[in-house]
Amino acid sequence: MDTMYDVIVVGAGPVGENVADRTTRGGLRTALVEGERVGGECSYWACMPSKALLRSGAALRAARAVGGAAQAVTGDLDVGAVLARRDRLTHGGDDTSQVEWVASAGIELIRGHGRLAGERIVQVTAGDGRAVTLTARHAVAVCPGSAALIPDIPGLSEAGPWTNRDATGVQDIPASLVILGGGVVAAEMATVFTDLGSAVTMVVRSRLLRGVEPFAADAVRASLTHRGVDIREGIAVAAARRIGGSVHVMLADGRTVTGDEVLCATGRLPRTTDLGVDAVGLVPGAWLDVDDTQRVRGSDWLYAVGDVNHRAALTHQGKYQARAAGDVIVARAFGRPVDDRPWGAHVATADHAAVPQAIFTDPEIAAVGLTEAQAREKGLPVRVLDHDLSWIAGAATWSDDYRGRARAVVDTDREVLVGATFVGPEVAELVHAATIAVVAEVPLERLWHAVPPYPTVSEVWLRWLEEYGRSADRSR
Ligand SMILES: Cc1cc2nc3c(=O)[nH]c(=O)nc-3n(C[C@H](O)[C@H](O)[C@H](O)COP(=O)(O)OP(=O)(O)OC[C@H]3O[C@@H](n4cnc5c(N)ncnc54)[C@H](O)[C@@H]3O)c2cc1C
């Protein structure tokens, strides 16, 4: 085996796969090292299974909200069928199809755990203990992702807490579940397990979904509460203990909540503890700090892409970084010019300005760019345009009880959108138009010519523009 490659990519999650694809397409011989399943956390224990589990409940609610269809829906979710659909979408944990894709893309897959062993050197240890040392001519890109953080709470580790892997891979639905955390994973899992019949309690140290516009978080809080979720906000966990078949979670206010299981959705840790980063002067267990080309600061050969660089822990953002990183590695390898200007070909500057996110709760939240508070913190001159989506004709035809709201955040100096948030049924599909407006910095005046079709919920764009007013009217 020739162990000299142009590029070595460690971690074959969505991000590593994309780095390797770009460098291979660019003419560089690339090794892709994977210690578990090709496809990574996203395919088997995160995005895909969680969205599969969420979709059945969302489809049922959507049908129940439309007269005519509602009468045809006479039963509840078939839990076994929901889990079977999840298993189909995750291929039952079998990565054969992704391995076939890797081969068809001309990438060389090496199974085993990769560790940096010096400059441009990666040692790979296979499951049977055999080790091989690989060398990269040009670059090593580490894309190991992140793992669930188990908070340092007395008794919690001993209580056998669930992580995202247990929750998304669930086979036996617990009668009751305590969820620690109030972020996206926590809110989505509260939705899933309520749909599947568990009694859910959420313990949130600060407040639910605190990263999004408060009106959007309020809508999800109200819906979860309406569906019976017991949400305790602004409270820390003091200790946990498993007694018999249930976990007792002691809160800082002296009260106790119990569940058959406790799920930790309290954040992520970088998978750099056993990556050999100390061999190249970096700190094991720390996030890796990169520039906009995804190259580790201070290095001319090491790249860190995806969750591990802690810029925007989302699959689509990681894949965006991967395209930039793969292309810049190729450009640097062949001595071609590197376009590292803002929004250039070899940078991931959207990480700072226009990260879109869809949260598949009930109702959904979709957002891009800055919230009102973030825009004001940045000192931007801000005007906020709020609209009740239920007033739009498209909402009335979509369902008999459409509730939703949308906010645009406008930089009034430049008269461009810097952020947008939607909350309501299936709003995830609305956000990309806002992403284009934010990234392209489309003047609001020009948006008058982007006419939303009638009757769709996208007519909110027209309502925003009407509220803002035309520049011709303002100058009179
Ligand atoms: C429950 C949940 C739901 C989510 N839902 C969404 C969603 O809907 N949309 C979205 O955009 N994001 C979502 N995310 C985030 C998303 O999963 C991550 O941002 C994404 O998986 C990051 O991709 P990655 O390639 O950086 O890492 P990963 O997907 O974690 O892949 C890393 C790969 O590297 C391998 N690896 C690690 N260390 C080594 C090593 N030393 N040697 C060899 N291989 C190694 C791992 O085995 C793994 O296969 C969700 C996360 C969670 C937890």
Distance 434 CA to ligand 1 centre (A): 26
Distance 47 CA to ligand 1 centre (A): 9
Q: Quote the pLDDT of residue 1.
A: 73
Q: Which atom of ligand 1 is nearest to the CA of 14?
A: 25
Tell which atom from ligand 1 comes closest to the C-alpha of 45: 1
Q: Looking at residue 136, what is its pLDDT? A: 98
**Above 90 in pLDDT, residue 107?**
yes
Distance between Cα 308 and ligand 1 center (Å): 9
pLDDT band, very low/low/confident/very high, at 470 (cuts 50, 70, 90): confident
Q: What is the pLDDT of residues 212-224, one digit of tens each?
A: 999 999 999 999 9
- Round the average pLDDT of the chain to a whole number and report it: 97
Each residue's pLDDT tens digit, 441-467:
999 999 999 999 999 999 999 999 999
Contact 274, 116 (CB under 8 A): no
CA of 264 to the centre of ligand 1 (A): 17
CATH homologous superfamily for the domain 4-39+95-147+269-351 = FAD/NAD(P)-binding domain (3.50.50.60)
Atom of ligand 1 nearest to the CA of 115: 41
Q: Please tell me the distance between residue 346's alpha carbon and the centre of ligand 1 in angstroms.
A: 22
| pLDDT tens-place string over residues 257-294 | 999 999 999 999 999 999 999 999 999 999 999 999 99
Measured in angstroms, how far is the CA atom of residue 44 from the centroid of ligand 1?
A: 9
Task: Select from 33, 42, 357, 368 the residue to mutate for testing ligand 1; criterion: most ligand atoms less than 8 Å from CB.
Answer: 42
CB of 399 within 8 A of CB of 389?
no
How does pLDDT run across 230-254, given as a tens digit for each residue?
999 999 999 999 999 999 999 999 9
Nearest CA to ligand 1 atom 8: 47
Is the pTM for the entire model greater than 0.95?
A: yes
pLDDT tens sequence across 384-402: 999 999 999 999 999 999 9
CA 120 to chain CA mean position, Å: 30
| Whole-number Cα distances in Å, 367 to 160, 214, 356, 381 | 35, 12, 6, 20
What's the gap in Å between 15 CA and the centre of ligand 1? 8
Euclidean distance between CA atoms 100 and 103, whole angstroms: 5
Q: 71-74: which pairs have CB atoms within 8 A and are 24 or more residues apart?
A: none
| Span from the CA of 267 to the centroid of ligand 1 (angstroms) | 13
Q: Which atom of ligand 1 is nearest to the CA of 275?
A: 41
The pLDDT value recorded for residue 369 is 98
41, 86, 272, 275: residue to mutate for ligand 1 pocket, most atoms within 8 A of CB:
41
User: Once rounded to an integer, what is the mean pLDDT over residues 153-158?
Assistant: 98
User: Which CATH code is given to the segment(s) 363-475?
Assistant: 3.30.390.30
Substitution site in 315, 429, 431 for ligand 1 pocket (most atoms within 8 Å of beta carbon): 315
* Phi and psi angles of residue 380, each rounded to the nearest 5 degrees, phi first: -75, 145
- Beta bridge partners, 132, equal 124
Backbone φ and ψ for 211, nearest 5 degrees, come out as -80, -10
Specify whether the backbone of 357 is left (phi greater than 0), alpha (psi in -120 to 50) or beta: beta
Query: Ligand 1 atom 6: the closest Cα is on which residue?
Result: 47
Residue 434: what pLDDT?
98
Which of 432, 441, 433, 456 lies closest to 411, judged by CA? Answer: 441
SS3 assignment, position 381: coil
Report domain extents, the chain.
Answer: 4-39+95-147+269-351, 157-266, 363-475
User: Separation of 242 CA from ligand 1 center, angstroms?
Assistant: 29
pLDDT at 473: 79
In single-letter form, the type of residue at position 474 comes to R
User: Which of 17, 38, 47, 86 to probe ligand 1 with, by most ligand atoms within 8 A of CB?
Assistant: 47
Within 6 Å (CB) of ligand 1, which residues are found?
Answer: 10-16, 33-37, 40-42, 46-47, 50-51, 113-114, 143-145, 164, 168, 185, 271, 275, 306-307, 313-316, 318
* Helical H segments across 267-388, by residue range: 315-333, 350-353, 372-377
Residue type, 323: R
Query: Is residue 363 reached through a cis peptide bond, with omega within 30 degrees of 0 on the bond before it?
Result: yes
Return the ligand 1 atom nearest residue 148 CA.
53
CA dihedral defined by 123, 338, 13, 135, rounded to 10 degrees?
Answer: -10
Q: DSSP string of 31-88? A: EEEESS-TTHHHHHHSHHHHHHHHHHHHHHHHHHTSTTHHHH--S---HHHHHHHHHH
**Distance in Å from the first CA to the final CA of the chain:** 75
Write the CB contacts of 438 (distance below 8 Å, at least 6 apart in sequence). Answer: 353, 354, 368, 369, 416, 417, 418, 419, 420
Whole-angstrom distance, CA of residue 237 vs CA of residue 235: 7
Q: Which residue has the higher pLDDT, 472 or 256?
A: 256
Positive/negative CA dihedral, 294, 296, 297, 300: negative
For 226-298, strand residue ranges (E) read 230-233, 237-243, 246-251, 256-259, 261-264, 268-270
Residues listed for the chain: 476
Q: What is the structure's pLDDT at 471?
A: 75
**4-39+95-147+269-351 matches 157-266 in fold:** yes
DSSP state of 319: H
pLDDT digits (tens, 9 = 90+) for 350-371: 999 999 999 999 999 999 999 9
pLDDT average, residue stretch 469-474: 80
Is the pLDDT at 188 greater than 80? The verdict is: yes
| Residue 128, amino acid | D
**Ligand 1 center to 14 CA (angstroms):** 7
Question: Which CATH number is 157-266's, of 3.30.365.10, 3.90.105.10, 3.50.50.60, 3.30.390.30?
Answer: 3.50.50.60
- Rounded to the nearest angstrom, the distance between the alpha carbon of 311 and the centre of ligand 1 is 14
For residue 475, pLDDT beyond 70: no
